[in-house]
Structure 1
Amino acid sequence: MSESTHARIPAAPPRQPLPLMQLILVGLQHVLLMYGGAVAVPLIIGQAAGLSREEIAFLINADLLVAGIATVVQSLGIGPLGIRMPIMMGASFAAVGSMVAMAGMPGVGLPGIFGATIAAGLFGMLIAPFMSKIVRFFPPLVTGTVITSIGLSLFPVAVNWAGGGNKAVSFGDPLYLGVAALVLLTILLINRFMRGFWVNISVLIGMGLGYILSGFIGMVDLSGLAQADWMKVVTPLHFGMPQFSLAPILSMCLVVVIIFVESTGMFLALGKITDREVTPGMLRRGLLCDAAASFLAGFLNTFTHSSFAQNIGLVQMTGVRCRSVTIVAGGFLILLSLLPKAAYLVASIPPAVLGGAAIAMFGMVAATGIKILQEADISDRRNQLLVAVSIGMGLIPVVRPEFFSQLPHWMGPITHSGIAMATLSAVLLNLLFNVLGGAERAAMAGPAHSH
């Protein structure tokens, strides 16, 4: 009987606690992968608000602090909060467009953004119990489509990094491509010829080699490191008391709904990767943590937070599925928020290094979606149409971000999110073809069977 039990639960060994050193190294991988995305949002908003370099640095530290706290709570689970799976949290890109607009509005600025973030977090906590019930609208057909779309929508980010990033003087320079190729090749060779511990830290080794090579050829910029503080504590309400205005609050509440849609897809993806069924109760705890993180963020000078899709690919690729890894990673983020010099060093990783690793990991997210789609009846023409249209809708904001620019501004959080577009399309088409359409087919089949 024990043999059959082990056969049914192949995921048990990867969830066992790792040795301490391995735990630290794999946790560091998670931090390095998501760091660029975590600091991008406060960087963009700080620039839009016209803040000084020191104030933008403070915004980044505040974001790292909240991301670390939220990651620990989401992974560990505290009371009604946290899905208790290996999740990384960070500032959400879904709100960037709205917040940039708010930053330039008279009488709104950062206090208005923080007030809207607090109100939206409270709104999210109120609706999370209701949103958690939508898990029944995510059969394998929908889940597989959404997860494939998550991977595909992330892929342009990986390609952009590999080519040198947005600030590259000569995008696609052979030096950038060579560094990205070295990182990717290192990861592939370790996964081919090594086992166990080495596979678990293959991304870290690849990025480490890429960083060393980048340093030798002058791609690592450490200017300003000497001026950074050794230690700085994030103080609440640093920019003054939050202000509450109706229009920004409504805009951010819509953003929270979009975050919930995206997070639902990511939680289900992680559930498939870790061989755990995501129940409505688990989904409720996960969404509550998303909302509570945003509520806290407004007081700690940062923005709406959500789960990071990038790190799901890392869980799939390394096979390390224990949540203690992301708890350690959350601790690293909190530490980085207190040590600006250390955070500065992490920020000096060239985009090409990240790109080489991201090509493998973001592709793994898409591959997971394709694997899940095999559980659905893809031979059915309607289901093929659902997958085709939903993935196409998810790629619109990626291929041409300005495609929906003429639509009302309030729709921005939806139309700018490929994950949200793909999810809404897949859920609605599944209702049309398989829920409502399934009832029609059953009704038509009824008289035939009665004969």
Structure 2
Amino acid sequence: MKRIHPVDEVLPLPKLAAYGLQHVLAFYAGAVLVPILVAGGLGLSTAQLIHLINADLFTCGIASIIQSVGLGPKIGVRLPLLQGVTFTAVGPMISIGVAGGGGTSGLLAIYGAVLAGGLFTFFAAPYFARLARFFPPVVTGSVILIIGLALLPVAANDVVVGKGPNAIQNPVLLKDLLYAFGTLALIVAMQRFFRGFMATVAVLAGLVIGTLVAWLLGDAHFDAVETSSALGYTLPFYFGWPTFSVTAIVSMIVVMLITMVESTGDVYATGEIVRKRIRRDDIARTLRADGLATLLGGVLNSFPYTCYAENVGLVRLTQIKSRWVVCAAGVIMLILGSMPKAAAIVAGIPHPVLGGAALAMFAAVAVVGIQTLGKVDFSDHRNLVIVGSSLGLAMLVTAQPYVAGAMPDWLQIIFGSGITLGALAAILLNALFFHLGGGRHAAVAGRPGDALVTLEQVNAMPYEAFAQTFGGLVEQTPWVLERAWAQRPYADPNALRAAFQEALLSGDEAQQLELLNAYADLGSEDDAGNAYIDDHDEAGLGSLGEDEHDEVRALAQAYRMHFGFPLVVCARDVERYERLLAQGWSRLANTVAVERASGVVEAARIASYRFNELVADANPIETAREIRFLQASS
């Protein structure tokens, strides 16, 4: 039976429909809010607003299918990422529309800028993706955490139905809080006491039951269902031919650059959740899909599109990782966009009920950010500064959104969103601390974005700090680390390398077996995220077909059964996995002693390559920083 990653699993149709509907309900309020705000800002009629909402839902469906299923080899990341209209564009779009005369004329000016922004994003995607080296865990973790925290006030606003805490004339109602808390409690209870399918649809069940209770108590209304049309389709350029303004286009390009940063954060968050390694090409495919969806938005009377963080939280909460669920959600949105009556039913969900569910989902996004930041070395004060400063700025703007009004017009788009400001701050601070200026010359240990220490500091390290810094070279094997540490002081980086090489080759039989058994089995999914597995995935194992991957895994299992330790091969020396398979099967005829010695030699090669990546100036010709720079520029 072929190995199928959970992302590619095609679930039974009833489950696809249920999980897809759950995604739609989770994102619906946010999806329709942008057209409502734009229509209000431009003074559009109710009929025009209804058409905008239908066009938005219809295009969301197309965009989500493109992103989750893919369109050709270079468009769509093929992850469970649902697409929606970006809130970042609301302010700039209203400004463009008002400058264009308001009403339909203003809408046409917006669509001209949206078309240009979509084209820009599509063609800029591969160039933006090359900046992936500027997104280490300290940046992606900060951005993901900021996204989750910045979305929580949106959920809170739904809970109190938009009423502020000081609204004496229109106070928050206890029943609204009870609807929200009841929905949240139901979701938590289902995830605690149920297993399998029922636990995974906890959010959907909470929304449905909460809405039914509100309807029985007279607080959910579906009057719009009766007055809505049975069918309604959006036609290309329904409001007329777009108009183009250089100022509007530049403004929209700035918006799209910001959404590209947000989408990058969402992709990394989703990759963490579904346990798929995100590479530069994945970022490019994501952003091309965003650009194409935005281009379609300009044609089909909608707006700029991006990955929806709300639904990233739903994937985290339910652990349903199949991208085909998002495809099913896209089909449902196509139906809702073509059937105003069906959309009116969904629109009848009371805001407090939706807010209660959103609290759980948005907090789940923040948790993913915390998990990512767990990989960051906070003993390095620079990482503390990056996370603390970006988080503080993001929360300032989120808590006090009127700060943007004090800024010049060209800065308001940045200070108008906590996500935008926080993400840009994390990126710029990381570049400042780790990619600009000095610090490289005296440094010997560390990776880009991680702690750097001087050779003098290494020589003064206690064993615990030494093991934490260099343990990854030898899969945290204690006896190797102890013997290398005992050879201090080191005259230069080459002496430090030699200390590890001598330690690796000095072990007795039992110690060698301890070292080899610290490595994972090739092809093992249980060890996803393991450095040894990741090395081979990057070297080509991750791109093999299912049959070839199964052959590698079968070889690894047979090798372990025969010799009692895993097959250890330096990934950098593997030219083709077909050759690895052929050589691996033939090696089963060797003695245990020969293979044990071969494994130790391979472990030494692995350590040497990792040393080049970990220690600056360890190999002047081929340091990791140069490799990464060349890869990013190719």
Give the TM interval when normalised to the shorter protein.
Answer: over 0.9
Write the mapping of 1:9-158 to structure 2, written as runs, cut at 5 A. Answer: 12=5, 16-79=9-72, 80-107=74-101, 109-158=106-155
**Aligned-partner Cα distance in 2 for 1:43–1:446:** 60
| Runs of 4+ residues deviating >6 angstroms | none
Shift of 1:134: 1.7
Cα distance in 1 between the residues matched to 2:229 and 2:372: 47
AA of the residue aligned to 1:450: A
- Aligned-partner residue type, residue 454 of structure 2: A
CA spacing shift, 1:139–1:171, aligned 2, 3 Å: farther
Question: 1:360-371 alignment to 2 at 5 Å?
Answer: 360-371=360-371
Larger-gyration structure (1/2): 2
Report the counterpart of residue 450 of structure 1 in structure 2.
491
CA distance in 2, matches of 1:325, 1:45: 30
Distance 1:187 1:428 in 2: 39
TM-score, normalised to structure 2, is 0.67
Pick which of 429-438 and 400-409 moved more.
429-438
Map Cα deviations across residues 96-127 of structure 1 (whole Å, 9 max, x no partner).
11111222224551111101100111111121
Whether 1:285 aligns to 2:326 is no
In structure 2, relative to structure 1, the CA distance for the partners of 1:13 and 1:110 (3 Å cut) is closer
Which amino acid is 2:161 matched to?
Answer: G
Shift of 1:159: 1.1
3-state secondary structure, aligned to 1:224? helix
Q: SS where residue 156 of structure 1 aligns? A: helix
SS at the partner of 1:90?
strand
Deviations 1:312-349, CA, capped at 9 Å, x for gaps: 01000100001000000000111001000110111111
Code of the aligned partner of 2:300:
L
**Which 10-residue stretch deviates more, 339-348 or 135-144?**
135-144
Spell out, residue by residue over 1:129-165, the C-alpha distance to the aligned partner (whole angstroms, 9 max, x if none).
1111122211112111111111100010111111223
8 Å CA contact retained: 1:164, 1:171: no
Distance, in Å, in 1 between the alignment partners of 2:249 and 2:427 is 27
Rounded to whole Å, the distance in 2 between the matches of 1:72 and 1:426 is 31
- How far, CA to CA, are the matches of 1:166 and 1:94 in structure 2? 23
Counterpart amino acid of 2:206?
G
1:171: Cα distance to partner?
4.8
Secondary structure of 1:38's counterpart equals helix
Contact 2:316 2:365 in 1 (8 A): yes
Please report how far the alpha carbon of residue 17 of structure 1 lies from its aligned counterpart in structure 2 after TM superposition: 2.5
Pick which of 263-272 and 118-127 moved more. Answer: 118-127
Secondary structure of the structure 1 residue equivalent to 2:407? coil
> Which residue number corresponds to residue 301 of structure 2?
301
User: How far apart are the structure 2 equivalents of 1:438 and 1:364?
Assistant: 37
* Cα distance between partner residues in 2 of 1:438 and 1:41: 46
C-alpha change, 1:106 and 1:434, in structure 2 (3 Å) is closer
Equivalent-residue separation in structure 1 for 2:216 and 2:231 (angstroms): 29
Counterpart CA distance in 1 for 2:8 and 2:162 is: 35
**Structure 2: gaps (5+ residues):** 445-452, 458-489, 493-634
Partner of 1:429: 429
Q: What's the TM-score, normalizing by structure 1?
A: 0.94
Query: Matches of 1:176 and 1:206 in 2, distance apart?
Result: 15
Partner of 1:264: 264
Moved more, 284-293 or 42-51: 42-51
**2:84 and 2:308 in contact (8 A); partners too:** yes
* Deviation for aligned residue 1:407: 2.0
The reply to whether residue 407 of structure 1 matches residue 407 of structure 2 is yes
Deviation (angstroms), 1:447: 7.4
Corresponding residue number in structure 2 for 1:176: 176
Q: Give, in whole Å, the separation in 1 of the partners of 2:120 and 2:352.
A: 39
Shift of 1:47: 1.7
* Alignment map for 1:197-346 (pairs within 5 Å): 197-346=197-346
Distance 1:171 1:117 in 2: 39
Q: Deviations over 1:17-50 (max 9, x none)?
A: 2222111111101000111111111111112222
Task: Compare 426-435 and 108-117 and name the one that shifted more.
Answer: 426-435
Two-structure CA RMSD over aligned residues (Å): 2.1
1:396 aligns with 2:410: no
Which shows bigger deviation, 143-152 or 419-428? Answer: 419-428
- SS at structure 2 position matched to 1:403: helix
SS of structure 1 residue aligned to 2:454 = helix
Q: Count the aligned residue pairs.
A: 444
CA distance, structure 2, for counterparts of residue 14 and residue 298 of structure 1: 30
For residue 160 of structure 1, the aligned residue among 132, 137, 157 is 157
Opposite residue 336 of structure 1, the aligned amino acid is: L
Alignment partner of 1:277: what SS? Answer: coil
Q: Residue 23 of structure 1 aligns to which amino acid in structure 2?
A: L
